[in-house]
Chain A
Amino acid sequence: MTYFLALLAIVGWGAAYFAWTRREQYVIAPMQDEVPVDIAPDNSATLDVLNSLRLGVVIVAANGEEIFRNVAATEVTGMRHADVLVDEVVERLIRAASVGNAGSEQIELAGPPQRVLDVRVTPLAEGGSIATIDDITERWKLDQIRTDFVANVSHELKTPVGAISVLAETIEGETEDELVLRLVRRMIMESQRMGRTIDDLLELSRIEMGGEMLLAPIDLNDVAQEAIERAQPIASRQGVSIHFESKTDQRTINGDYFQLVSAVSNLVDNAVKYSNAGGEVLVTTSSNNDDVEISVQDKGIGIPMASLERIFERFYRVDRARSRGTGGTGLGLAIVRHVVTNHGGEVNVRSREGEGSTFLLRFPRISVPK
């Protein structure tokens, strides 16, 4: 009997303790669920400010519940899958922040278009945490351009100098006439290459300054014809035919004839160089209400998508090994871009590897009294 009573007492005490702990949880639980209003943006002015930011902002309460997300954080990338992946990182960092650990992570998304995002989460003193999502794609690209430029410029300028130096050293101790002749020819080639690079750099520098422009009404057909004439010898050597088509008689722009010919020549040259034997290059002039356009289209090897954004950078090479064979300096398209910018126009490119490229230059049209 005593044993039974003792057992009953223990069970009763256990039940009471259990109920008491449940009661504690019951009391505490709503407090945990309660949204800490002091960290939630609660007036329209604050909301407007947060929503006008380009920086994504997510605020999370101590219980892990998301209490605010600004517009920039709602559609971070414009790509559904990328937003899902960004959310995953934000959630992971917020979990770490809930135990007091601030954290950050850089997300590189393949796209296309390629995007780089910087996610940072900081625990808040009042509980909860704040996450920021910063699109650093442009900064990241600029960093890449700067790093590559230093490497590319030193390659383009130092390679011929190094080659000439080595060739000269070899000639110094060489007595065989045939070999000396071959080495000298090679030296001439390398020095010509360096000369072309310097010429292009000077031309680019002149065009960049924009101060020496001799503006006059220019018929884009004249520009196209001269550019085609210049490229004709190399086109004949490569077995590439160049065709010209004018789709408009409203093709006058205010521009510098020599700069324009230089730009279009660069495009026609490239189109010929990167076409296969028997290929065709089509140069077209056309117009719409406000603009005159000149396009250069080829059906050659095309440009990889990853390089399309970068081909107008100085010394950028899609394929360094292949480019050396074409004799280009790596500055042609940089010149094109600057010429077009100086004329208040824009340049666009469409290309597919193996299918060809189309470069389109668009300039503001001027009306010429008849």
Chain B
Amino acid sequence: MDELRKGFHHELDVARKDLARLAAAVIEAIPRATTILLNGDLDGANALISDDDRIDALSVDLEERCYQLLALQAPVAGDLRQLVAIVKMVGDIERSADLTVNICKAARRVYGHDLDPRLRGLITRMSEQAQQLFSAALESFEENDASKAAAIDDMDSFLDGLQREFMRTIMEENSGSHIDLQVAIQMAMVARFYERIGDHAVNIGERVQYVVTGWLPEHKGAARYKQGIPRPNDDTGAIPIVLEDN
């Protein structure tokens, strides 16, 4: 039997493909922004900052198409969850693209200042981890894999640990007067940008779980609140940084 609502499902597929393309653009932008920061590449910074308008335009267009589909096609069940989730995920992806732009802007601000190799190494690690999180988010979305999506939250703990390690190193550098205060502040913000990119990837993972299962991880906290159970301490503490990943 021919599929009913073929046109709608085609539109939904196109929307999913466009979301994947936006996420791919962010995954590509993360290492680019890092190289720009570490190499003081001002031309690269300008190019990546300019490209953000394209990401914004694609995001707005995708969001509007989703609203049109919601209004005109009245989707239900899984289709409805997909569209609602895409609308939420577009926001996370667009914001992550903005964060890569912020890294480029920080690169402009610290231009001409040498960074300590330890800080450079940690920036590279944070960038790799943020990229891995976003890649896992894209894969879980494309494969509708709720298990992979759930793992992103745990992967994010490692990025949080790296950010804490980075902050400690900046404090040490600053107390030893090895780093300019302005540069130290910019670097602290850069670490925060990577950490936030990781958080957005976690959000996307949660939305993928919602699409697949109809359940959001936030429901756990909400249920706890309704029952008056205090939130457990989920701080993962210091993540051990190993020299070699053998």
Contacts and interface: CB of A to CB of B under 8 A. Distances in A.
Contacts of A85: 21, 24-25, 28
Interface in B94-143: 116-122, 124-125, 128, 134-135, 138-139, 142
A272 B231 CA distance: 51
- Looking at chain A's contact residues, the main secondary structure is mixed
A122 to B, nearest CB: 24
Contact of B117 (A82, A84, A302): A302
B165 to A, nearest CB: 11
Nearest to A274: B117
Interface string A57-96: 0000000000000000000000111101100100000000
Nearest to B119: A354
B28 A81 contact: yes
A352 B124 contact: yes
A105 interface: no
B31 interface: yes
B35 A84 contact: no
Interface centre among A112, A301, A355, A358 (most CB of B within 10 A): A355
B28 A304 contact: no
Contacts of B116: 354
B27 A81 contact: yes
Contact of B244 (A79, A109, A112, A350): A350
Contact of A354 (B25, B120, B139, B142): B120
A148 to B, nearest CB: 15
B138 A304 contact: no
B107 to A, nearest CB: 15
B188 interface: no
Interface residues of B, number: 29
A299 B242 CA distance: 12
Interface centre among A81, A352, A353, A358 (most CB of B within 10 A): A81
A356 B243 contact: yes
B38 interface: yes
Contacts of A214: none
A359 to B, nearest CB: 13
A111 interface: yes
Nearest to A322: B114
Interface residues of A, number: 24
A354 B27 CA distance: 25
B187 to A, nearest CB: 13
Interface centre among A82, A84, A112 (most CB of B within 10 A): A84
A302 B139 contact: no
B23 interface: yes
Contact of B38 (A79, A84, A304): A304
A82 B243 contact: no
A84 B141 CA distance: 13
Contacts of A6: none
A110 B244 contact: no
Given A109-B28, A110-B28, A84 B122 contact: no
A8 interface: no
Contacts of A88: 21, 24
Given A81-B24, A84-B20, A356-B243, A302 B121 contact: yes
B120 A353 contact: yes
B23 A81 contact: yes
A350 B121 CA distance: 13
A110 B32 contact: yes
Nearest to B39: A306
Nearest to A111: B31
Interface string A292-304: 0000000101101
Interface in B5-37: 20-21, 23-25, 27-28, 31-32, 35
A354 B35 contact: no
Interface centre among B24, B32, B39 (most CB of A within 10 A): B24
Given A84-B20, A299-B243, A353 B117 contact: yes
Nearest to B246: A350
23 contacts: A80-B24, A80-B139, A81-B28, A81-B135, A85-B21, A85-B25, A88-B24, A109-B28, A110-B32, A111-B31, A112-B31, A302-B121, A304-B38, A304-B124, A306-B39, A352-B124, A353-B120, A353-B124, A354-B116, A354-B120, A355-B121, A356-B243, A358-B244
Given A110-B28, A304-B38, 6 more contacts: A84-B20, A84-B21, A109-B28, A110-B32, A353-B124, A355-B121
What are the 5 tightest A-B residue pairs by CB atom distance, in nearest-first order?
Answer: A354-B118, A354-B121, A353-B121, A81-B24, A81-B27
